[in-house]
Amino acid sequence: MAVMILQTIAIFIIPILIIKYHNFFITKWLGSIGTAYFLGIVVALLFFTINKIGIEISLNSDVGEIGSIAAISIAIPLLLFSANLKEARKLSKMVLKAFFALIISAIVVSAIVYYTYGKTIGFGAELSGMAVGLYTGGTPNLNAIGSIFGLDSTTIGVANLSDMIIGAVFYLFLLTICKPILSRFLVKSTQVEYIKDVLEMDNIDKIDVEKFQFTKPLLNRILLAFGITVLGAIFGIALWIVLGSVEGKMIDLLVPTIMITATVLGIIASFNRKIRETKDMNVIGQYFILVFSFGLASSLNFLRMQGIFGEILILYTSITLGVFIIHAILSKILNVDVDCMMVTLTAGVYGPAFVPAITKQIHNDSLTIPGLITGSIGYAIGTFLGAGLGFLFLI
């Protein structure tokens, strides 16, 4: 009982420390989500080692999984509340073509890799669908889709760990030699107008702890996100009852319904200016993402992980490389310039948080706002695309 209480406290306190000390060298190196996973893995490994030497003590996997599901279901609407999706109409044709090419690339490559390799591994259909959400939106979409399919915490955790390893290497490639290589293949960027009108947009993933203020409007948005989660749970229970109240099947309907409700209502609420412009929602949303990440990683089963890590790593490595290659080819066909291709790729594969670093590196700040907008669009549609494709694979 004492271990379970300490586990629960750690799941909610450690993310606060990560945000507070976001300039610590580990956090700056791994990123906040990477740090949450790293610390969770350390905790899981510690308990695994203790059990190996004969001391029987373990974490409660239910606490990690239930806490993770609750956290991600609240985080999704909070992140989507800030997404100014109406600004998408101001994007130029080139940006829209580039992002459309990325979406097509993610779908096509994930399908090819699934039918050639994914079918041979456990949960290959679900993991391939998760990859579509990951490479069009980002980590929140990956985790939401995994929860929709009811995957266990170890499988979702290994998918995240694989993405972190591949993503770190690929991001280094984007920051260094990617542009020189692509410049030999794609048209070079000139004085292109990437937006049709002047607009301003915040980075919905940016965390500014120093300016954070817990206000009444912010509390109202948190309560709204919680209410959306509860509503999704009610829908799930109602669906379970309508389908016959089959024993043991309620959770199979509850989690997908919560995730879909959180995404749909989060998108709808984002069109309300009063909700959208509430300050610091992203900080709370990121906090719950960290709660999810740490809770999930601390629940990893290393015995099971040993059998699936290599398979999932190969799956996601293949999809990452394939998406990059097909996106580059489509960009060539659509006459998309090198900078636009790189920024939309970053927005989809990594999310809005990574866009400013790329635009700074390639010396093209005019693509920062288009990158943030396409990243927000990815958040909004990634879960539906990935879950839809995953269900098709399962047929």
Give the C-alpha separation, 270 to 200, whole Å. Answer: 16
Helix (H, G, I), strand (E, B) or coil at 60: coil
Q: Report yes or no on 253 lying in a domain.
A: yes
Q: Report yes or no on 43 lying in a domain.
A: yes
Q: Which residue has the higher pLDDT, 171 or 69?
A: 171
How many domains does the chain fold into? Answer: 1
Q: Report yes or no on 153 lying in a domain.
A: yes
Section 220-234 average pLDDT: 92
Q: Is the pLDDT of residue 210 over 70?
A: no
The pLDDT, as a whole number, for residue 242 is: 85
Could you list the residue range(s) of the whole structural domain that residue 7 is in?
A: 2-188+215-394
Q: Is the pLDDT of residue 202 over 90?
A: no
Q: Which residue has the higher pLDDT, 252 or 262?
A: 262
Q: Which residue has the higher pLDDT, 109 or 164?
A: 109
The pLDDT, as a whole number, for residue 26 is: 78
Give the C-alpha separation, 35 to 160, whole Å. Answer: 12
What is the pTM (predicted TM-score) of this model? 0.85
DSSP 209: G
Give the C-alpha separation, 312 to 177, whole Å. Answer: 27
CB 204 within 8 A of CB 214: no
Section 280-292 average pLDDT: 86
Q: Report yes or no on 256 lying in a domain.
A: yes
Tens digit of pLDDT for each residue in 145-161?
A: 998 998 888 899 899 88
Section 299-318 average pLDDT: 86
Tens digit of pLDDT for each residue in 346-363?
A: 999 988 878 888 898 898
Q: Is the pLDDT of residue 200 over 60?
A: no
Q: Report yes or no on 110 lying in a domain.
A: yes
Tens digit of pLDDT for each residue in 86-109?
A: 888 888 899 999 999 999 999 999
Q: Report yes or no on 202 lying in a domain.
A: no
Give the C-alpha separation, 26 to 41, whole Å. Answer: 14
Q: Report yes or no on 49 lying in a domain.
A: yes
Q: How many CB atoms lie within 10 A of CB 4?
A: 12
Q: Is the pLDDT of residue 3 over 80?
A: no
Return the percentage of the chain with pLDDT > 70, whole number: 92
Catalogue the long-range contacts made by 44-53 (C-beta closer than 8 Å, 24 or more residues apart): 44/297, 44/298, 44/299, 44/300, 44/302, 45/302, 48/302
Q: What is the dihedral of CA 323, 324, 327, 333, to 10 degrees?
A: -130
Locate 94 and state its tokens: 């080139």
Which of 167, 132, 166, 164 is closest to 148 using CA atoms?
132
Give the C-alpha separation, 202 to 194, whole Å. Answer: 17
Q: Report yes or no on 19 lying in a domain.
A: yes
Burial class (CB in 10 A: 0-12, 13-18, 19+), 363: exposed
